């Protein structure tokens, strides 16, 4: 998809408090700085929010999926506050705990994070085209010669 930017604190501090979409002050500072560099590249970006596996629910229907999307949007707003052009954003996505940073410890606070992808032109075109999808790998034919789904 492109260049993935993972912001990981040397002190293993989370980017967000448990159950919160509010950025920690040190994370906000990093994103404000990063916004200037993002403006220097011609590519669009994708922002993804993540949670740890701690179940979160305060309202009917609001859980880790919504929380992770809110975290991605909080990062987007901070990047805009730092001067990033709004048109740079191609996608804002919440993935809940489906892509953990620390798979060995799924409740590790470091899993409460965002990631930013500076998209390749191909991924960018697919994200900006309503009918397009990101390219999927073509599966090889089975060893017994049975045709694959792609065939």
In a domain, 142, yes or no: no
Three-class SS of residue 117?
strand
In a domain, 147, yes or no: no
In a domain, 123, yes or no: yes
Tens of each residue's pLDDT in the chain, 151 residues: 888 888 776 777 788 888 889 999 999 999 999 999 999 999 999 999 999 998 877 767 889 999 999 999 999 999 999 999 999 999 999 999 999 999 999 999 889 899 999 998 888 888 777 544 555 444 444 444 444 434 3
Q: In the block, which residue shows the tokens 């065939």?
A: 151
114-119 and 45-49 beta bridge pairing: antiparallel
Give the helix/strand (H/E) hosting 115.
strand 114-119
Distance (Å, whole) CA 148 – CA 120: 28
Number of domains in the chain: 1
Assign residue 41 the CATH number of its domain: 3.30.1330.60
In a domain, 26, yes or no: yes
Range of the domain at 44: 2-128
In a domain, 144, yes or no: no
In a domain, 42, yes or no: yes
């Amino acid at each position: 998809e492109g260049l993935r930017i993972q912001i990981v604190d040397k002190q293993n501090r989370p980017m967000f408090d448990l159950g919160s979409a509010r950025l920690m002050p040190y994370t906000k500072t990093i994103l404000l700085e990063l916004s200037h560099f993002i403006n220097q590249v011609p590519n669009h970006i994708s922002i993804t929010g993540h949670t740890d596996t701690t179940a979160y629910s305060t309202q009917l229907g609001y859980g880790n999926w919504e929380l992770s999307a809110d975290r991605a949007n909080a990062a987007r707003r901070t990047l805009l506050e730092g001067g990033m052009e709004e048109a740079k954003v191609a996608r804002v996505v919440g993935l809940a705990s489906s892509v953990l940073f620390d798979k060995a410890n799924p409740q590790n606070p470091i899993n409460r994070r965002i990631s930013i992808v500076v998209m390749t032109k191909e991924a960018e075109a697919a994200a900006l085209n309503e009918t397009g999808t990101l390219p999927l790998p073509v599966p090889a034919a089975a060893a017994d010669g049975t045709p694959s789904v792609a065939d």
